Amino acid sequence: MKTKDRIMLTSLTLFNSQGENNITTVDIATEMDISPGNLYYHFKGKEAIIEQLYLAMEHEMLDVLQAPLKDDIDVENVWFYLYIVFEQIHKYRFFYRNITDILYRYPKINKRFKRILKKKRETARATLILLEQKNILSPHEDEVHDSYIDNLADNITLLLTYWMSYIELDQNSDATPALSIHRGVFQVMSLIAPYLQDHYQSFYLDCKTLFNALNEELGKQKQ
């Protein structure tokens, strides 16, 4: 692996485990057992590393969000798709845990992140519309049609964007990667569940059973 790639991988690992604001370029160089000068040759400071990591995250996330929706989409496909999205979020969790502060300190990233935010909402909305067309979702009788789709898309986007911040702040939360990912997926499914047609409610109940079983299993492992 090239030194530049090692720097990015080491930085990502340290940022995720200890928090981006607690890590300096000296810490990164020490962890890699290279001189600060060697690191500086590849990245002219921590800001350059952060920006490069963000570009990698943006590229990977947009690849996921821009994947074409299939005509045979169903609620199970959505569950798997959400799992992939949350895996990506967890991979770059240092960013999502401290998103407001990072966007404030790095204006270049702030401008670019709006692109991801917009794409998340567009993808959520397009997916919900397709599910409705497949007679999997339907609005409540007292709701305006476009309103429930827009509200769901907004809430899903909000949850995807701030999920890691919530996990970080939740003192009762289990920080294991598997549970935080499954819990995030389950929360999105819980937003959708009230609008699922009756014959699809069983899948939501299966998701709930799976999440509860995983929660119990990981709880036993911690004891």
Boundaries of every domain in the chain: 1-44, 58-222
Query: Rounded mean pLDDT of 48-66?
Result: 93
* pLDDT, tens digit, 9 for 90 and up, residues 104-122: 998 889 889 988 999 999 9
* C-alpha to C-alpha distance for 50 and 56, rounded to whole angstroms: 10
The two counts, helices (H) then strands (E), for the chain are: 11, 0
* C-alpha to C-alpha distance for 131 and 18, rounded to whole angstroms: 40
- As a CATH number, domain 58-222 is 1.10.357.10
Amino acid symbol at 91: K
What superfamily would CATH give domain 1-44? Homeodomain-like (1.10.10.60)
With 0-12 CB in 10 A as exposed, 13-18 as middle and 19+ as buried, what is 100? Answer: exposed
* pLDDT, tens digit, 9 for 90 and up, residues 132-178: 888 888 887 766 666 889 999 999 999 999 998 888 887 555 557 77
Map tokens 């962890």 to a residue.
31
Which has the higher per-residue pLDDT, 178 or 99? 99
